Amino acid sequence: MLLAVFEELERNKKNIRWLSEGLKAAIKEYNTVWMNELRLTDTGLSRYYGEGFGIPPETEPGHFNHILEPYAKKYKLSIDEFIKKYNSREIIEPKLDKYFIHDRSLRESGHDTSYRLINISASLNTVDLNSLLYKYEKDIEFIIKEYFDDSFTYSKNVTYKSSFWRKKSLIRKKLINKYLWDNIKGVFSDYNFEKSRLTGFESATSFYTMWSKLAEKKQAQSLVNNLLPHLEAPGGILSTSKKSCGKISSTRPQRQWDYPFGWAPHQIIIWKALANYGYSNICERLAYKWLYTITKNAVDYNGTIPEKFDVIERTHKIFAEYGNVGTDFDYITREGFGWMNASFQLGKKYISDKNISNLNKLIPPEWIF
């Protein structure tokens, strides 16, 4: 983000100072958050890790009832009474503590929530996080070499050269290929370092490796051939595949970052990922599907712009945790939803003039591709 913003600015001393301060902040975050002892694992790769105790306060009432009910019964308490005693540490349940460490880690990832991460997040070297950190390393290397004459003064006693960050990115790439590449399935997958095995969960986040340009050309081709068909839907890209999501029931409720839902950030990342490796035709098809879904819902429902879609049914009508921000009458976002608006603007760049015309006529993607 720092580099992307800077490249839109004029090259002057004021903006170079801004870049310098931003780079210092990015390096500090990298060193103190992602490479600290809580998040750096024995594999040499990083993990999400949510510190603290108790139940995350940002969830809607009743969100954890199916988890807490057995514990409340154990202590012969109502769920509300159990929550009070558990949060105050009057009751200590190590197994439940671990569950909520995983839950806070999941929320740290931004994918709150998904069966890819529930009750396992803190045990994973995820493809998304380590691809993002690889991009950090490559961008920092580039910035130092391009804009600071290959010598960046981070602090009084620390000066970085681009070669330092290049070495870091090469090491991370090697470790990602060692631990996260599934040679049999031909895809990148999250790695459970506690069980020393890949999870095999099919997710849009596997394409972060192409977005960050970490994947080799053969790996990119393999991802497109072996994973994309499980994630492509009538309305765009699914967050996770139907197979990996598993059976939904009253004790295993629907999660918003799973099948059948699609989110703007995943679409944006996958378009760029495909464009990076020359898959312009596939990129256009996926972008058209997503923009058609946005446009059709806006036309049919008085300008409604939500935070996510059911990309199987191509609808904003979603029944899952947290509902769908921007669709309820008590929370209509007249200006649209930020990343949905951004995805529409970015998506148009991948679509030909002819298909922009088709989009304006609301011609369904299946009539075109």
* pLDDT number for residue 142: 98
Catalytic residue among 112, 137, 190, 202: 112
Could you tell me the pTM of the whole model?
0.93
Asked if 258 is an active-site residue, the reply is: no
* pLDDT number for residue 262: 98
Taking phi over 0 as left and psi of -120 to 50 as alpha, with beta for the rest, 173 belongs to alpha
Nearby residues of 201 by Cβ (< 8 Å), 6 or more positions away:
115, 116, 189, 190, 240, 244
- DSSP H helical ranges for the chain: 2-6, 13-29, 65-74, 79-87, 94-109, 127-147, 162-179, 208-211, 217-226, 228-231, 242-245, 264-276, 280-300, 338-348, 353-360
Asked if 112 is an active-site residue, the reply is: yes
Catalytic residue among 128, 137, 202, 307: 307
Paired tokens of 254:
């629907």
Helix (H) / strand (E) containing 232: strand 232-233
pLDDT < 50 positions in the chain = 326-327
* pLDDT number for residue 321: 59
